Chains A and B, each alone.
Chain A
Amino acid sequence: QKEVEQNSGPLSVPEGAIASLNCTYSDRVSQSFFWYRQYSGKSPELIMSIYSNGDKEDGRFTAQLNKASQYVSLLIRDSQPSDSATYLCAVNRGADGLTFGKGTHLIIQP
């Protein structure tokens, strides 16, 4: 059974601070890891992908992967109110369908 676990939140972070979102997964064969942002009533939007251990930075976003610990995280620097959304962690083995967590609801307080 492939599982992805996330804290559902809500996670409340002051504007301008760093938001830290965490995710663990059970399938050791997982090779690809993704973070999606989903606004209420909208579909998931891809914001980060990571495939190897370590950090990957893209603008204000940094994804971190630790395959030994089966752990992936997303850091959002200089958080903005527009970052308020649900963040979905997703993993797969390569070409197969994604397994998603339930998502973490992030609230950025102005």
Chain B
Amino acid sequence: GAGVSQTPSNKVTEKGKYVELRCDPISGHTALYWYRQSLGQGPEFLIYFQGTGAADDSGLPNDRFFAVRPEGSVSTLKIQRTERGDSAVYLCASSLQGRGEQFFGPGTRLTVL
């Protein structure tokens, strides 16, 4: 079956712009997670959805970051007024019911110039 997919694979933007990153989880997985990974670091948790609701958004660094999952499947991570420090690989993962194994998508590499 299809794994987690993310689009775009690469995004280059200018400081101050708005970006949206999309994640399509494994079919049937109710839990969806966003992480970001900087070079030489492990992934850092951002937000966790169970169904349509954000069960834990404690990892979002500030109010420029927002994520939605309106129908309980596809999720969009939105970043306003991007800063150079937002440059990283943004990873999405999904799991069957929010407990157990999480499977990652290929990631979106965001570069803020």
A-side interface residues toward B, CB under 8 Å? 4, 32, 34, 36, 42-46, 49, 88, 90, 94-103
CB-contact partner of B102 in A98, A99, A102, under 8 A? A98
Bound form: Cα–Cα A90–B37 in Å:
14
| Contacting pair A95 B104 (CB below 8 A) | no
User: What number of residue pairs across chains A and B have CB atoms under 8 A from each other?
Assistant: 59
Which chain B residue lies CB-closest to A94? B99
Bound form: Cα–Cα A90–B35 in Å:
13
User: What distance in Å separates the Cβ of A74 from its nearest Cβ neighbour in chain B?
Assistant: 15
| Contacting pair A44 B43 (CB below 8 A) | yes
Please tell me the size bucket of the interface on B.
20 to 34
Known: A32-B99, A94-B99. A99 touches B45 (CB 8 A): yes
Q: Which residues of A contact B48 (CB under 8 A)?
A: 95-97
| Contacting pair B41 A95 (CB below 8 A) | no
| Contacting pair B44 A100 (CB below 8 A) | yes
B-side interface residues toward A, CB under 8 Å? 31, 33, 35, 40-48, 50, 55-56, 59, 89, 91, 93, 98-107
CB-contact partner of A49 in B55, B59, B101, under 8 A? B101
CB-contact partner of A102 in B31, B33, B42, B89, under 8 A? B42
CB-contact partner of B100 in A45, A49, A96, A102, under 8 A? A49
CB-contact partner of A43 in B33, B45, B50, B106, under 8 A? B106
Known: A44-B104, A96-B48. A90 touches B42 (CB 8 A): yes
| Contacting pair A97 B101 (CB below 8 A) | no
Known: A97-B48, A101-B42. A43 touches B101 (CB 8 A): no
Bound form: Cα–Cα A97–B56 in Å:
8
| Complex A-B, nearest 10 residue pairs according to Cβ-Cβ distance, in ascending order | A100-B42, A97-B45, A95-B98, A43-B104, A43-B107, A95-B99, A44-B104, A97-B48, A100-B43, A102-B42
